[in-house]
Amino acid sequence: RLRLLGPSHQGLRPTTDLVREALFNILGTTFLNGRVLDLFAGSGALGMEALSRGAKSISFVERNPKSLRLLKQNLQRLPDVAAEVRIFPADVFKILPKFSREEEKFDLILIDPPYQANLWLRVLQSISQL
């Protein structure tokens, strides 16, 4: 099992290994060979779990520069990945309309906004346009 680098800056609380494993055990193979979107990607742990479980492509969206560095470092730690990996250094609420205009489609959307940011309703409204 690959150990990912975690955040050292305040405000980030990555999803625990236990929660991540439980989530993907529930999802099973529903997104196998699918396209995954990881919003508020942080360290990339959720998206990388999707990669390790057979996602065909992953699009990470993260705007925090420190988190982006960490995400890129974690991606470099992965063994050769056959999947398409894209990183969007952008605000979620600015990139989602772009995805909609370009008719981007995803089989699984992972949403893990910053702790206590109270963004859930706004995010769900935005992704409903995809």
Look up residue 127 and give its DSSP letter.
H
Which residue's entry shows tokens 């439980």? Answer: 22
Model confidence over 71-130: pLDDT tens digits? 999 898 887 777 799 999 999 999 999 999 999 999 999 998 887 678 888 898 898 887
pTM of the predicted model as reported, rounded to 2 decimal places: 0.84
The whole-angstrom separation of Cα 53 and Cα 47 is: 10
Superfamily of domain 29-127: Vaccinia Virus protein VP39 (3.40.50.150)
What's the pLDDT band for 12 if we cut at 50, 70, 90?
A: low
Banded model confidence at residue 56, pLDDT cuts 50, 70, 90: very high
